[in-house]
Amino acid sequence: MSTYLLRKDGTAITCLRCARTSYNMADVRNLYCAHCKLFHVPADGEAKLVGCAMYIYRPGATEPQVVNIRLPVEPSFADLKKAVLPHLDGAAYFEHVNVLFEGGPSDMFVDEIGHKKQLSRNELATAIYRAAWLDEHPTDHPESLPWIAGPAVVFGRRVWS
């Protein structure tokens, strides 16, 4: 069942969850509801690319850079490599980490050898990385857990299967 309606002339999208309509062409292209902060999944028969937010966390930053992209519903390794590597400052390979982000499961990608390269500690990404473990193990000291070195990319939805 679809959670949105596209205007026939392609100039608007209506979210069926909140009943709001957006005429912003970026929202239309990405099937996005700014009110719900939700990227709708396309119905069968429509394009299989869906909007997705990437949050890029850099060491020393106080907030992430947010980039909206379109990816297949189930992106391939090549799709993810193309989306992620440019934001990891020259990394040749990335490592995947399961995280909880904005209340749900998500995926984080970091430089596979960030520690070996002695990249700077990324406090914001480290907090996201540790959150699920500390939620389940509240008596563990946070500094007893590993930390994230260098930039990190976190997706607003599950992209790794």
Beta-bridge mates of residue 15:
4
- pLDDT band of 149, cuts 50, 70, 90: very high
Q: What angle do CA 137, 122, 97 make, to 5 degrees?
A: 55
Which of 44-58, 102-116, 122-136 is predicted with the least confidence, judged by mean pLDDT? 44-58
Residues comprising the chain, all counted = 161
Measuring CA to CA, which residue among 33, 38, 35, 43 is closest to residue 12? 33
For the cut 80, the answer to whether the pLDDT of residue 68 exceeds it is yes
Percent of the chain with pLDDT over 90: 64
Going by C-alpha positions, the residue among 155, 143, 145, 148 that lies closest to residue 114 is 148
Comparing 46 with 101, which gets the higher pLDDT? 101
The pLDDT value recorded for residue 104 is 86
Average pLDDT on 64-91 reads 91
Q: How confident is the model at residue 31 (pLDDT cuts 50, 70, 90)?
A: confident
Taking the complete model, does pTM exceed 0.85, yes or no? no
Domain ranges of the chain: 1-47, 50-161
Residue 40 has pLDDT above 90, yes or no: no
